[in-house]
Amino acid sequence: MDGLPVIEVTDLWHCYQPNAWVLSNINLSINRGEFVALVGQNGSGKTTLVKHFNGILKPVRGSVKLDQRDTREVAFKEVALLVGYAYQNPDHQIFNLTVQEELAFGPRNLGLPPAEVAARVDRVLATIGLSGLQTEYPFALSRGQRQKIAVGAILTMNPPVMIIDEPTTGLDWQGSLAMMDLVKELHDQGQTIIMITHDMRIVATYAHRVIVMAQGQILADGTPRELFAQPELLARAAVQAPQTTRIGQQLAEWGMPSDLLTVQEAIEHFQLLLAKAT
């Protein structure tokens, strides 16, 4: 993370109908290289907010800047080069007849030379673990594989910022971990990740920063450990901390920390308590 803001939101308000505000008074800065999770119940404004990041929506009031440039003054094609958006349901995004054509669609429409398009497709296929499936019909593949294709279709455009909406929806836990390990690898390579999710286990395991939304406003902004240790705050947003955190809070009188994030942390603290008791 280089500390430079890639997204700056200032006094953002948005409505789909006059005076029915979906977002109000949003102020936010996201730096290059961050891994940010947006959480909150359905209707809290998460998706409306991130659609301002890639230019799908424009502010009714306030401003959104990408690399210091106001989104109202930047062509959509230019925004697409900076911010990629993988939708919650990959089946709403995929439309080509082969995996290769799906991955090639974006860079081809950016006007890249055929050799560069082919090189990007091959590189991304290896990254997402689907090499050898170039000619497969996407809808004949598993949900997890289609999710990877949706992410891959964004990766071939090589945007420095990726928005991933509910990347683990419809996946079992192993599939969720496989998808999130891919996202983590992209982050480790320097991409800025903005993730919308309802799965707090995923947030606890992967995100570095959490933005909690409620009723179109930012309720809290901090690390997973800071926010999950505040059950009253989370309740206001209808968000529940991971089960591991809640167990630690229930056992606080026995010496368990109230800000546990992972099962491994819980095991280590249980072992310490047992060692003290013997």
The 10s digit of each residue's pLDDT in 170-208 is: 888 888 888 888 899 889 989 999 999 999 999 999 999
Q: What is the average per-residue pLDDT within 251-256? A: 82
Burial of 149 (0-12, 13-18, 19+ CB in 10 A): buried
Three-state DSSP at 270 gives: helix
Q: What is the average per-residue pLDDT within 20-33? A: 95
Of the candidate ranges 129-138, 213-222, 251-260, the one whose mean pLDDT is the lowest: 251-260
pLDDT at 77: 79
Please state the separation of Cα 121 from the chain's center in Å.
22
Residue 4 predicted with pLDDT over 80: no
Computed over every residue of the chain, the mean pLDDT equals 91
Q: Name the token pair of 24.
A: 């109000």
Burial of 240 (0-12, 13-18, 19+ CB in 10 A): middle
pLDDT at 142: 92
What is the spatial distance between Cα 249 and Cα 259, in angstroms, rounded to a whole number?
7
Neighbours of 269 (CB within 10 A): 17
Contacts of the segment 204-207: beta carbons below 8 A, 24+ positions apart: 204/228, 204/242, 204/244, 204/245, 204/261, 204/262, 205/180, 205/261, 205/262, 206/35, 206/37, 206/180, 207/35, 207/36, 207/37
